[in-house]
Copies of this chain bind each other. A is one copy, B any other.
Amino acid sequence: MTSRPSPRRRHDAEAARADILAAALSEFADYGYGGARIDRIAAASGMSKPMIYSYFGDKDDLYAAALREAYVQIREGERTLNLSNLAPSDAIRALVEFTLDHFIEKPWFVSMLNTENLRGGSTIRVIADLTEIQSHLVTEIGVILDRGASEGAFRQGVDPVELYITIASLCYFPVANRHTLKSVFGRDLNDAAQLDLRRGLITDMVLAWLECRE
């Protein structure tokens, strides 16, 4: 009997971890923590359940890894924007558009925030290095605001964190609540026209707020 090549060999450990993580992210995002099933993660990632436990620990640990991954992805995306190379208002526009688009295209980020806050943030408090992941973003926004202020485009004294929270607020709600908004108000972000409208509205609003003080 010839030993058939183990299908697991296809993966080195790193790839296996990545597959599991992707499946877990999607599962937790789709079903929430309580609704997520290890079985489905195993099936989706092509790994056996014991492998998942051996790579990540228990369900909580896997969830923590997935949450961290969601943050890593969005911060990586923000980094590739190279905001520092743009004119201040273009940078802001780019950040707004990236944020909205990322929320829409990678819906697991929004869902994971949803889930984690439902759980009272008990997990994120424990992911030690997250603040570090963020700091680059805050710094970069700070630089843009300073530059904008010194060029006279923006008003003085805007806090980068407050600005980011504001942008995130405007982008997050229509995505996070797209199902209820559709049912209750009939608005649907899947409709391209409505999405464009909202994108424009948000950008205008943020820029107006940054500038609008003569």
Nearest CB to that of A176 among chain B residues?
A: B117
* Besides A33-B34, A205-B205, 13 other A-B contacts (C-beta < 8 A): A31-B34, A32-B118, A34-B34, A111-B118, A113-B176, A113-B180, A116-B179, A130-B183, A131-B184, A138-B185, A161-B187, A165-B174, A209-B209
Within 8 A of B (CB), among A153-167: 161-162, 164-166
- Whether A117 contacts B161 by the Cβ 8 Å rule is no
Say yes or no: A114-B114 contact (C-beta < 8 A), given A169-B169, A180-B121: yes
Interface residues of A (CB under 8 A from B): 31-35, 71, 111, 113-121, 124-125, 130-131, 134, 138, 161-162, 164-166, 168-170, 172-174, 176-187, 197-198, 201, 204-205, 208-209, 212
Nearest CB to that of A161 among chain B residues?
A: B185
Give Cα distance in the complex from A208 to B180, angstroms: 28
Give Cα distance in the complex from A182 to B34, angstroms: 23
B113, B121, B187: the one contacting A182 at CB < 8 Å is: B121
Give Cα distance in the complex from A14 to B2, angstroms: 26
- Whether A173 contacts B172 by the Cβ 8 Å rule is yes
Give Cα distance in the complex from A74 to B209, angstroms: 28
Nearest CB to that of A163 among chain B residues?
A: B201
**Using Cβ atoms and an 8 Å threshold, which residues of chain B touch A174?**
165, 169
Nearest CB to that of A185 among chain B residues?
A: B161
